[in-house]
Structure 1
């Protein structure tokens, strides 16, 4: 049950849902949701000019709430894609249709759950998005912070940037945890701030195959995010991710390199 302008998502041989070109559902969803969200929540948005209008760009953000994955696509000046579990796209009946079209409308790309190859599949999905000269949003912390502190970044973000040549735009989200606190099912109306920092070229750190280069690049990105948010630094990885499937995927995608 999809419109003629929105193709059914397909999976490759590794079980990763292919990124779809924006169709009618995306433009309709974005056209309706973005102005409504800006009117209701009245976010303070700064630094939109820092996001290149074309080409490969990674939006690397802190992570405080499930709502973050809506806030970033709805406030960025260009289409942004991110990962979501594939079952959001493969359901049947009216509920499956609503889920599929909603996540398509906000730029999500499905990945299969599972051990072993699943982590690389997810990274490869992000790489394909970037190699198509699109924007891709990820959370280097791997999962949302339950205590409001900024945790150490995992190096998947650096691998993506160094592999694809994408620039990294740090993103600072402030107040999103007040819209939908942990355990809350209904969002609340609260003021938030979205800060897009200056683009970072991490190529100076070295090759993607170097653990040292990945670590240094990730630390530079996290320092830029911290400068935007002013969060207290945890000084460690977020070792206790929520039990949700999407967060389990994120935990595999962004490994804990300790160099």
Structure 2
């Protein structure tokens, strides 16, 4: 916990000083109990920013390789991702797979917060793509509220294909929690689809992004 608090405080101070972000709606994050953050995805930095700026710990997936490196660089990378509360996931394991979702479900059942990108991977063209139904599965199975988060401008901090970060203003908007009746894991696919669409509508309202009718077919970053 000490590492988490230190890492988050450091990132928050750095981001606040260099980027001067506009942040609204933090009061919408539940003060206790499980919750699911559902966010649009524009930049590699999105998870770190959400984890640092929200008032409670949020577990997003990060590649397992970030936790297994050797030497000073490997230690630093592992400490950083552990410090922000990231969850290791195998490169060949899709974030929406049943095994991965059950990892998030375990955290929710312990009263924690988890983060998920319903689009699956980053939008390279700024469109908001159709949501994959993993977020609906989590919401209906756990009964945890879904907190929609909209990011605007984070794609300019680290454009796709670039390794360097360019400080700049961005906006983080937290919407009102969405509540779904807990049904457990045995629920019909249409219910999962309906819940997911409701989440995506909330994200679109926060970001103002143009909607895409299709799924994002870009390959996850390697």
TM-score normalised per structure 1? 0.81
Secondary structure of residue in 2 paired with 1:133: coil
Q: Find 1:188's aligned residue among 166, 173, 176.
A: 166
Deviations 1:104-125 (CA, angstroms, capped at 9, x unpaired): 1111011223369x92221111
Tell me how far 1:68 sits from its aligned partner. 0.5
Partner SS for 1:81: coil
Matched, 1:26 2:4: yes
Alignment match, 2:57: 79
Aligned counterparts of 1:130 and 1:115: Cα–Cα separation in 2: 20
| Rounded Cα–Cα distance in structure 1 between residues aligned with 2:25 and 2:8 | 20
Q: Distance in 2 between matches of 1:131 and 1:113?
A: 25
Q: Which runs of 4+ in 1 moved over 6 A?
A: none
Q: Which residue of 2 aligns with 1:151?
A: 129
> What TM-score do the two structures reach when normalised by structure 2?
0.94
Once residues 70 and 124 of structure 1 are traced to their aligned partners in structure 2, the CA distance between those partners, rounded to angstroms, is 22
| Within-5 A mapping of 1:5-84 | 23-84=1-62
Residue pairs, 1:99-110, within 5 angstroms: 99-110=77-88
**Could you tell me how far 1:34 is from its partner in structure 2?**
1.1
Partner SS for 1:187 = coil
1:218-237 equivalences in 2 (<5 Å): 218-237=196-215
Q: Which moved more, 1:122-131 or 1:151-160?
A: 122-131
Q: How much is the aligned-residue C-alpha RMSD, in angstroms?
A: 1.8
For residue 120 of structure 1, the aligned residue among 98, 113, 129 is 98
CA contact (8 A) 1:175 1:191 kept: yes
1:207 Cα offset (Å): 5.9
List runs of 5+ in structure 1 lacking aligned partners.
1-22, 246-259
How far is 1:147 from its partner?
0.4
Compare CA radii of gyration and give the structure with the larger one. Answer: 1
Distance in 2 of aligned mates of 1:25 and 1:233: 39
Q: Is the 8 A contact 2:5 2:83 kept in 1?
A: yes
| CA–CA separation in structure 2 for the residues paired with 1:173 and 1:122 | 24
Q: 1:137 aligns with which of 115, 131, 139?
A: 115
Secondary structure (helix, strand or coil) at the match of 1:91 reads coil
